Amino acid sequence: MTERQRNPEERIQFLESEIYRHRDLYYNGHPEISDAKYDSLEDELKELDPNNPILFRIGIDRSELFNKEKHIIPMNSQDKVTQPGEFSKWAKKRNFKVFIVQFKLDGISIE
């Protein structure tokens, strides 16, 4: 039996703490782990506690390098896919005929 199976509540608390810490580091320009590793922390928390509030919080950017701006149309949270099959499933659910894809510094956003 794994530690996660023995103490799911403790594992959830650990994941919350790690996710918050790594978000803070990322948004303030000091990431310590890869995007894929961060995503795996969120994925595990989603599996253990899909309604955990930290999963619905968007960013914690406190950087003073950029001005805060308000989007005309809020983007809200982003769906993430890592495999072509996941993208196909995501696209099929939305029944879109056309996609606009724009570059990001660390990947792409699709909404």
Report DSSP state, residue 7: -
**SS3 category, 39:** helix
Burial of 65 by CB count in 10 Å (0-12 exposed, 13-18 middle, 19+ buried)? Answer: exposed
User: Across-strand partners of 103?
Assistant: 108
**CA-based max dimension of the chain:** 49
Indicate which residue of 68, 70, 93, 104 is catalytic. Answer: 104
Residue 64 CA from chain centroid, whole number? 22
Catalytic-residue membership of 104: yes
Among all residues, which ones are annotated catalytic?
Answer: 104
